[in-house]
Structure 1
């Protein structure tokens, strides 16, 4: 099995695991269990979703060891594709025709996008200075996106989550490639970058949890899956020297694939949002006692 096929297989496993985690997180948010960090830490369901996220992140890290960011990150959109039937099943409904059309469009678009993106395994990684610069810039953008609370803040939190996850992936690739070259965990650069990976990975998960609270599953997850590969592509092109294959034809294929995948994601955002948890109806007494009347003489 070549490196590209191995990276794709690991990405598929990661996407399915991330989808299961997203469905679990959305259910927690809808149930009102995500009001504070303390409440989350006391929830066994949240720890289950955190475990799924951790497993998915490890699979994703392994994929980044064998494939470039321009290949691995677009496959993350398959998380949304996997989450559609999972979310529908948990909500006790069938997948709508619009959702199936969105799924097919997303898969077809990703197929076109992956053809020119299937380059060799990564050879370059971020330097410590680049890692710190990317981390600082990302933190500033995340703070700007989440500073204002209004009805549209859920999608801004989702965009911030996608950005944080993309940076975590770029940093993870640096650690994974360094480890593959025999680098030591005691290396100051590897240790510092690994700590940044944890910060951005956990931050991305908490931001997505906040996004699901007000926007259901479909729209926030779609925004995460658009922001993530876009930010990763910028990092890969600007700092890691990654390029699409095939020259002009490759660019045309990538553009067509991106447009088709974006159309599919837009369709998937129309998933019916489940109703938030409602308070239990008031108890009705089994027997109604009529007021006594007193005769007046």
Structure 2
């Protein structure tokens, strides 16, 4: 009986979506955003790696001012930034015309595209373990968002709820800043990936709130505070993302963003905005199982990614001074 009810809900939502041509426009917009994100991540990764070679210093302990200034001079990094900006525009446009069930799962396509693109460029073919990890991450987020789409009810965000979200964001930034001070010397790519994913989850929530309040012509001091908090989260998250590029391959970074970002946004909607008050117990159990599966996929990919394994095996044999690293980047030099 339960399966019949869920099946009826799915059929009704899909039927309703295909009745409105405007809703269908969200599908190509979301796919276009996923493509922009994939290529943007690859170009930004290339820019970060190039800057490390030119400066002779790794950004694994956190990008410094010199790294950031050099990134602004790299055409590849600037091109990647423009593409990621276009990806955000496409995603927001898709969400404005299409329901979550059609748009959000399509963002995971960028993980598949980035994996294939990075494998072709780097020459590191995906292993069976890494492919299973990607399937777990994409499948988990698809199930998680789908369950949320069936039972989520959009409601106006109250002032108290918005203050709670801003307070949680402030605490999150302080916690990640403290962890960064402790962990930055350890070069843990997974920390930067998780931190950026969590922050971008807040960004998605705040962006939705700001757009809604502007649409309702409710641009007050609280809306302005949300805009400032959104910009701060974007800046800190972007810094973590660029540092993650210096420690791990781009598809691993995209895996964290496309999995953790929507999970955090949906959890905020469930816990703070109370958008699933009518959801049954099995739906919350499904949230837990699907979320755990998606997070397991990201952690497993971080451990079993062929490029990460290759770099770790080569590390003891390629460690050298900064001067040697700089000279080895010259054309024709041995790697």
TM-score bin, normalised by smaller chain:
0.7 to 0.9
Distance 1:255 1:5, change over 3 A: farther
CA distance in 1, matches of 2:285, 2:128: 29
8 Å contact kept, 1:73–1:232: no
- Where structure 1 has 5 or more consecutive residues not aligned to the other structure, the ranges are 285-297
Residue 292 of structure 1: aligned partner: none
Residue 6 of structure 2: aligned partner: none
SS of the residue aligned with 2:307? Answer: coil
**Aligned with 2:127 (options 96, 114, 138):** 96
Residue 51 of structure 2: aligned partner: 32
Q: CA deviation at 1:62?
A: 3.2
Count matched residues: 282
8 Å contact kept, 2:134–2:297: yes
Residue 154 of structure 2: aligned partner: 122
How well do the aligned residues superpose, as a CA RMSD in angstroms?
3.6
8 Å contact kept, 1:110–1:258: yes
My pick for the range that moved more, 264-273 or 83-92, is: 264-273
Distance 1:132 1:28, change over 3 A: same
Residue 112 of structure 2: aligned partner: 81
CA distance in 1, matches of 2:260, 2:134: 18
Residue 179 of structure 2: aligned partner: 145
CA distance in 1, matches of 2:242, 2:227: 23
Residue 191 of structure 2: aligned partner: 156
8 Å contact kept, 1:109–1:260: yes
Residue 254 of structure 1: aligned partner: 287
Residue 76 of structure 2: aligned partner: 45
Larger Rg: 1
Distance 1:258 1:164, change over 3 A: closer
**TM-score when scaled to structure 2?**
0.69
Q: CA deviation at 1:51?
A: 1.0
**Aligned with 1:231 (options 244, 264, 268):** 264
8 Å contact kept, 2:130–2:306: no
Residue 197 of structure 1: aligned partner: 230
Residue 240 of structure 1: aligned partner: 273
**TM-score when scaled to structure 1?**
0.76
Q: CA deviation at 1:134?
A: 3.2
Distance 1:223 1:103, change over 3 A: closer
Q: CA deviation at 1:158?
A: 1.9
CA distance in 1, matches of 2:178, 2:101: 26
Residue 7 of structure 2: aligned partner: none
Residue 221 of structure 2: aligned partner: 188
- Where structure 2 has 5 or more consecutive residues not aligned to the other structure, the ranges are 1-16, 53-62, 316-324
